[in-house]
Amino acid sequence: MPIFEAFDDEMDEILARARSTDSGVRRVAMLSLAEAVEPEAVPLLIDGTRDPDAMVREAACKALDEHSGTEVALALIAALDDPEEAVRLAAAESLADKKEAGAASALIARAAEGGVFVRSAALRALREMQEPAALPVALAALQDPEVAVRREALGVLGWLKAEAALPALMMAANDSDPSVRRAVMAALVFVRPGTPGVPPLIAGLTDDNWQVREEAAFSIGKARLPEAADPLIAATGDEAWQVRAKAVNALGKIKARGAVPAISAALDHSLSNVRKEAAAALGEIADPAAIGVLERAYDDPDPDVRKLVRWALDRCRAAA
């Protein structure tokens, strides 16, 4: 039997299952369509999102994660209002990866007027689309009473990297919820040295929540903000090792020569993750003053640390 005929027979079988009176059989049909390339697959799955049985609708939403197109995104947007939580969650998860420009206006509308779950899911789906038209609704959402909505709005603003959003981001840095403040630190990653967005990031290094401090250090390193060198040096002594690691990493990225003693001290940390960041940072800075401490770390018990120490030593010796 030719291959295409075998595919036709298999699709006919799935079509028959999708029309079954048994909801369990229909659910299996939806799952079978996840990676189907036949043109009938998407319409069947879209129909499945409206099936009388919640488990079939959930399976259809999950299967649509493997398909693209504006009609797919619109069906998932509609499913965000499903009466069953499992269906709504499946629709939101599949929708988050779509990046369908044709669905942007529908998402913006839902982000402005839907319920809490719908607003959050719509903003999350808009995030990586980097749709300029989403800027007003994301800015407005920063005033939303719901934490989840404010947090997702910050994701949109962070991806848009819009200078117009900077005043609102600076205000949001004082949000009462730590997960929102952390999202602000992530959103500020686009700031440039010497601009008004730098002080909130530096202030984030001393936030009460360690995850906010960690995110602030990461964004400072990504943005390469030399004016944050001294606060980052202080952060290398943070009680949370995750913050120490990100601070050391950031100091390496901004090539802060004055930080060599603090970074060198991190080479003695009990956790290899911190020692790896320290060795890598010393290699980025390539200051001959670090040769001695790197030589002492040459026999570190962790092979990844040793590899980075040798790389750093080569760079420091070359700069000597």
How many Cβ atoms sit within 10 Å of the Cβ of residue 202? 17
Query: Which two structure tokens, joined as six digits, stand for 174?
Result: 């004082």
pLDDT at position 19 is: 87
- Find out whether 35 and 47 touch, Cβ atoms under 8 Å: no
pLDDT at position 8 is: 63
| CA 86 remoteness from chain centre | 23
- Find out whether 310 and 278 touch, Cβ atoms under 8 Å: no
First to last CA, the chain: 72
Q: Taking each helix axis from N to C terminus, what angle separates 116-127 and 147-160, rounded to the nearest 10 degrees?
A: 20
Dist. CA 29–CA 13, nearest whole Å: 9
How many Cβ atoms sit within 10 Å of the Cβ of residue 277? 28
pLDDT at position 154 is: 97
- Find out whether 113 and 146 touch, Cβ atoms under 8 Å: no
Torsion of CA 38, 40, 45, 50, to 10 degrees: 180
Torsion of CA 243, 247, 249, 255, to 10 degrees: 180
The CA-CA-CA angle for residues 312, 315, 317, to 5°, reads 105
The domain made up of 1-98 is a member of CATH 1.10.3720.10: no
- Find out whether 224 and 253 touch, Cβ atoms under 8 Å: yes
Torsion sign, CA atoms 305, 306, 310, 313: positive
Q: Name the superfamily (CATH) of residues 255-320.
A: Leucine-rich Repeat Variant (1.25.10.10)
Judge if 1-98 and 255-320 fold alike in CATH terms: yes
Query: Could you tell me which residues come within 8 angstroms of residue 208 by beta carbon, excluding any fewer than 6 positions away?
Result: 178
**Residue 210 CB-density burial (10 A; 0-12 exposed, 13-18 middle, 19+ buried):** middle
Q: What's the one-letter identity of residue 41?
A: A
**Residue 164 CB-density burial (10 A; 0-12 exposed, 13-18 middle, 19+ buried):** exposed
Domain segments of the chain: what residues?
Answer: 1-98, 255-320
pLDDT in tens, the chain (320 residues): 333 344 467 888 888 888 899 999 999 999 999 888 888 889 999 999 999 999 999 999 999 999 999 999 999 999 999 999 999 999 999 999 899 999 999 999 999 998 999 999 999 999 989 999 999 999 999 999 999 999 999 999 999 999 999 999 999 999 999 999 999 999 999 999 999 999 999 999 999 999 999 999 999 999 999 999 999 999 999 999 999 999 999 999 999 999 999 999 999 999 999 999 999 999 999 999 999 999 999 999 999 999 999 999 999 999 98
Q: Is the pTM of the predicted complex or chain greater than 0.85?
A: yes
